[in-house]
Amino acid sequence: MTQSELRGHKQAIRAFLRERPTEKIAAQLAHAQDGKLSFWSCCCFVWFYTNSGNHQYEDARGYSEKHEAPSRRHFSWRGAESAYFSLGVVDRERRRRIIPILKAELRRRERMAPDGAVLDRGEAEPEMEEALRR
């Protein structure tokens, strides 16, 4: 992958994150820092924002119709999921690249907010401060 391609994937992810709730981003950051964020699970990058459970795909091939149905309705979700997949060959590499992106989005929101209030879709949660300290 070229630097230009990598930059494009990161930009797609940043655009996707701008529309997500702060508390979910903070929770996903903690999930990634714990080494649990995996492309081949129902708590993958995009599904994390729609699914309340944390369970593996239904079949051994890593595919579930039920898993993909909601994301098919949202073009930006498909693009973000594809961009996340392209961040690396293995989950460890993807997590190494996504963690700074998640932290940067949380910091961006902190800087934008007057008096510590969070402006973008959600309230500041203790998880946000904890995730940023890691």
Class of residue 32 by CB neighbours under 10 A (exposed 0-12, middle 13-18, buried 19+): buried
Q: Is the pLDDT of residue 28 over 50?
A: yes
**Mean pLDDT along residues 1-13:** 93
Q: How far is CA 117 from CA 88, 106, 114, 120, 130, in A?
A: 34, 12, 6, 9, 17
Q: What local confidence, expressed as pLDDT, does residue 26 receive?
A: 93
pLDDT at 6: 94
Contact 80, 105 (CB under 8 A): no
pLDDT of residue 34: 93
Alpha-carbon gap, residue 14 to 21, rounded angstroms: 13
Q: Is the pLDDT of residue 75 over 70?
A: no
pTM value? 0.71
Q: What's the confidence (pLDDT) of residue 4?
A: 95
Checking if the pLDDT of 103 tops 60, the result is: yes
Give residue 55's pLDDT: 44
Is 134 a residue whose pLDDT tops 80? no
Mean pLDDT (the chain, rounded): 76
DSSP-assigned beta bridge partners for residue 56: 41
